[in-house]
Amino acid sequence: MEKQALPASSCSLVLLEETKKNPLLLSNGAGYPPAAANGSLVPLAAGPGSGGGTAGACGGPDRKAVPVPGPGYPERETWTRQMDFMMSCVGFAVGLGNVWRFPYLCYKNGGGVFLIPYLLIVFLGGIPIFFLEIALGQFMKAGSINVWNIAPLFKGLGYSSMVIVFFCNTYYIMVLAWGFYYLIKSFNSTLPWSTCDNEWNTPSCIEIFRHQDCNNGSIANVTISGNMTCAELANAQSPIIEFWERKVLNISSGLGDIGEFNWELTLCLMAVWVMVYFCVWKGVKSTGKIVYFTATFPYVVLIILLVRGVTLPGAYDGIMYYIKPDWSKLGEAQVWIDAGTQVFFSYAIGLGALTALGSYNRFNNDCYKDAFVLALINSGTSFFAGFVVFSILGFMAAEQGVDISQVAEIGPGLAFIAYPKAVSLMPAAPLWAALFFFMLLLLGLDSQFVGVEGFVTGILDLLPVKPHYRYKREISVAVCCFLCFIIDLSMVTQAGMYVFQLFDYYSASGMTLLWQAFWECIVVAWVYGADRFMDDVARMIGYRPFFWMKWCWSFITPCVCMGIFVFHLVNYKPLTYNNVYVYPWWGEVIGWCMALSSMLCIPVSLLYKLVRAKGTFKERWAHLTTPVWGAHHLEYMAPDIKSLSSLSAGADDNKVIIFESVM
């Protein structure tokens, strides 16, 4: 007797349940399955006997809906509590960039005027892409590479972000090594950067400046301070600057003069990498706990430093220099370039780490609200840290009798010159110094280990789960840390600061982040579809985000990114150190190679996939831009399957709908 055929809706739901148990019913192998009109569902064409009996999960004898062997992928782990995700994002995005990079850019660009382009770009570019990356990770449940299964042709975006975050992980940790070095030196009864009687000090070192006694030019040759005349006092240096340049960096004459290793810094670097390893090796379950301390304690110290800073003489002038804009600066392209660069750098956009953090969220987490809260915390911390820094810069300017713009060297040394000066003026200076540099270490540490987590997550998503890969996370993290440490050895030489600045200027800021952000918006808004992704977000969080997001992804943010990118190219200037040392041509070549190593991943990968595919260009494009869904999307799409009940059993148009797996 002939078996009775099940209705189409029953077949679909049975296949849905079986696919939940074995999500590898379809393999994304050499041949592409035909895609549905919207790219969300993949119809499996019925065979000649489809209208009759059932086999397996409703298919006829000729139906090919059978499990295909393939690598197994376990259910993705999630945060123990949602607050773990929030604190991890705060720890990663709020870091040293907020404390020394933001005030440094304000200082460089004339003070408070920098806040205008900064806030404008935050709303036009920062928040939209910040939300896009978190939502994309949460929706696709994948790291920085596999998240672009949403449009596989552009998977080069994932490789590009992996290159950027690798470079960032490599050089960023040097700031932690310097901070750890200062922390160790803080455990002395007298801080080594507060006196001029150390072996590294020069005869030009002076602890107390008395410029006010030299205001009368007629006494230029009169001895004012110790054995120094007023003329000599003009070229004098603080012991803090000499400690930084002559002891910590022991800086050489240029990039080609490598000099010798600083073994003290090498040991500090090794210790910091060991700490990073043990923060990351067990995954988000442990990382989510550590950030509760590393992300919150720095705020306590910043408040204490602000209270102390505003009580110092000259603090008012420093703060006014910070908040009073120089309107003429708005016409300079460099101000806008620095604002865009800082937003993308401090919001950690384009690095893939936000995507990795979002991938561990529950599918229905309200990431839209989270994005705004995190953006407020990030920019608020930058603005708040500026008051701390400029109150201290104002004091230092008053003490030395110079303009605020001449107080500190331009560069990352601001955190190691202005802040140590502040703590050295407090009672029980070694205690405050240890507290401050412990805070600096924590600020950078959580940013560093979350960056490593993002890189390792992207790598692990590419590897199948096998029994003998039991310790693959621990091994992957160890290999990553060791490789970065080997590269970092070039930064603990006498030419280390030149190498550090080369990485900072070319590899993980400026053009690379803008290029990455531009293509992220283009792919989601124009290849996948902005309205379509807004619908996906609505299905996750329960409501549709404000239409401003769609406009930003589609038009405003790409234009902002590309505009600043073009300005960056047009106004490009050779890299210098302290506005004195100009990098040699081969140094710039190395820098451009680092920048292009990430930027070229996108077009090269795109062209490679198109050339390797078969069919006409239109067919290749259709196949390569069809999303590759994961097993968790079965529940997401389940309500759509119920609409299939209107199909009549045995009809020619009857198609059983199933989903592609991640691989």
User: How confident is the prediction for the chain on average, in pLDDT?
Assistant: 77
Q: What's the pLDDT band for 50 if we cut at 50, 70, 90?
A: very low
Query: Of 174-188, 206-220, 287-301, where does mean pLDDT reach its minimum?
Result: 206-220
Please tell me the distance from the alpha carbon of residue 375 to that of residue 126, in angstroms, as a whole number.
8
**Cα separations in angstroms, 156 against 40, 167, 660, 663:** 21, 17, 21, 17
Per the DSSP assignment, residues forming a β-bridge with 261 are 493
Tokens at 88, concatenated: 């991890």
Per-residue pLDDT for 85 more than 70?
yes
Mean per-residue pLDDT, 533-547: 91
Q: How far is CA 413 from CA 99, 146, 246, 538, in A?
A: 12, 38, 13, 45
Identity of the highest mean pLDDT range in 5-14, 127-136, 301-310, 316-325: 127-136
**Span 574-586, average pLDDT:** 87
Does residue 196 contact residue 202 with C-beta atoms inside 8 Å? no
> How buried is residue 311: exposed, middle or buried, by Cβ count under 10 Å (0-12/13-18/19+)?
exposed
Q: How far, in whole angstroms, is CA 327 from its chain's centroid?
A: 31
Pairwise CA distance, residues 106 & 101, whole Å: 9
In this prediction, what percent of the chain has a pLDDT beyond 90? 29
- Rounded average pLDDT over 284-311: 81
The pair of three-digit structure tokens given for residue 602, joined into one six-digit string: 């996108």
What distance in Å separates the CA atoms of residue 298 and residue 388, rounded to the nearest whole number?
13
In the chain, the percentage of residues whose pLDDT exceeds 70 is: 76
The pLDDT of residue 101 is above 80: no
pLDDT confidence tier of residue 139, bands split at 50, 70 and 90: very high
Pairwise CA distance, residues 286 & 84, whole Å = 10
- Can you say which residues are annotated as belonging to the binding site for Na(+)? 91, 93-94, 98, 346, 378, 443, 446-447
Neighbouring-strand partners of residue 657 = 43
CA 252 to chain centre: 31
Of 530, 509, 599, which is closest to residue 128 (Cα–Cα)?
A: 530
Per-residue pLDDT averaged across 101-126, rounded?
83
Residue 336, pLDDT above cutoff 90: no
Q: What is the DSSP string of 187-231?
A: SSSS-TTS-S-STT--TTB-SS--GGGG-SGGGTTSEEETTEEHH
Task: For residue 229, give Cα distances in angstroms to 118, 235, 557.
Answer: 44, 10, 56
Quick one: pLDDT band at residue 319, thresholds 50, 70, 90? confident
CB under 8 Å to 318, separation ≥6 — which residues?
390, 391, 392, 393, 394, 395, 397, 404
Residues linked to residue 32 through DSSP beta bridges, in sequence order: none
Phi, psi of 579 (to 5 degrees): 60, 15
Q: Is 283 exposed, middle or buried (0-12, 13-18, 19+ CB in 10 A)?
A: middle
pLDDT surpassing 60 at residue 55 = no
Judging by beta carbons within 10 Å of its beta carbon (0-12, 13-18, 19+), is residue 359 exposed, middle or buried? buried
Question: Which of 240, 616, 647 minimizes the C-alpha distance to 415?
Answer: 240
Furthest-apart CA atoms within the chain: distance in Å: 119
Return the residue matching tokens 């604002």. Answer: 339
Report the C-alpha gap between 242 and 17 in whole angstroms: 69
Contact between 146 and 459 under an 8 Å Cβ cutoff? The reply is no
Contact residues for 326 (Cβ-Cβ < 8 A; gap 6+)? 110, 111, 112, 113
pLDDT tens digit string along 450-480? 889 889 888 887 876 665 556 678 888 999 9
Single-letter amino acid, residue 403: D
Enter the DSSP assignment of 416.
G
Token pair for residue 460?
Answer: 């692990």
Q: Are strands 223-225 and 576-577 parallel, antiparallel or unpaired?
A: unpaired
d(CA 291, CA 394): 33
Q: With contact defined as beta carbons under 8 Å apart, do 164 and 513 qualify? A: yes
pLDDT in tens, 601-626: 999 999 999 999 998 999 999 999 99
Would you call 198 exposed, middle or buried from its count of C-beta atoms within 10 A (0-12, 13-18, 19+)? Answer: middle
Q: Residue 503 in contact with residue 171, Cβ under 8 Å?
A: yes
* pLDDT of 28 higher than 70: no
pLDDT band at 585 (very low <50, low <70, confident <90, very high): very high
Q: Which residues contact 599 (CB under 8 A, 6 or more apart)?
A: 160, 511, 512, 515
Three-state DSSP state, 43: strand
Q: What integer pLDDT is reported at residue 592 of this predicted model? A: 93
pLDDT for residue 112: 76
Task: Please write the tens of the pLDDT for every residue from 403-434.
Answer: 777 665 555 666 787 778 777 877 788 888 88
The tally of CA atoms less than 13 A away on the side-chain side of residue 247 is: 20
Cα atoms in the 13 Å half-sphere on the side-chain side of 260: 5
Residue 33 burial (10 A CB sphere; 0-12, 13-18, 19+): middle
Q: Which residues are annotated as a binding site?
A: 91, 93-94, 98, 346, 378, 443, 446-447
Sign of the Cα pseudo-torsion (492, 495, 497, 498, in order): negative
Mean pLDDT of 243-258: 89
Task: Find the helix or strand (DSSP H, E) in which 521 lies.
Answer: helix 511-522
Other beta carbons less than 10 A from residue 188's beta carbon: 13
